[in-house]
Amino acid sequence: MDLIFEIPGKIKVEWEPSARAVIDRWSALSQVTLAEFRSAVLEKGLPYASAHRGRAYIVDNSAAKGAYIQDIQNFIGSDVFPAFAKAGIKYFLTVPSQDSPLANLAAKKYSAKVGPHGIQLVEVRSVADAVQWLKENAK
């Protein structure tokens, strides 16, 4: 895996070449600002995916706590998923938090906005499962 971007204690953005996927590993969701979110996802991760023929985003919330502020949740629906679709991202895989029901509820809320953009939503138990799913199912 290649490190694309990191905000210590909040997010680590990586590239998994074997699956052609960006992996966002989130931790303190409630501490992330809209500017940080935009930078990590639309200014760093997505351009990297586009440059490397990326086909998927894996959001790893397994260590996440809390929930994004409402502005970020709105931004995901209004800007992020349309940008993903335009860039050719076809799969959005999520790994739920292991011990934060609030993080999982927030993820379900924003993940529900992916469908209208033609992106397939898949929930998996781990990043390894996500990579394996992509290798077996992504076209």
Report pLDDT for 3.
Answer: 96
Structure confidence at residue 15 (pLDDT): 98
| Ranges of the chain whose pLDDT falls below 70 | 100-117
Helix (H) or strand (E) holding 18: none
pLDDT by residue (tens digit) across 92-125? 999 988 776 666 566 666 666 666 667 888 999 9
Instruction: State which CATH number among 3.40.390.30, 3.30.750.24, 3.50.30.10, 3.40.50.1860 fits the domain covering 2-137.
Output: 3.30.750.24
Phi/psi-derived region of residue 136, left when phi > 0, alpha when psi is between -120 and 50, beta in every other case: alpha
Report the 10 Å Cβ neighbour count for 87: 15
Ordered by start, the domain boundaries in the chain are 2-137
pLDDT at 98: 79
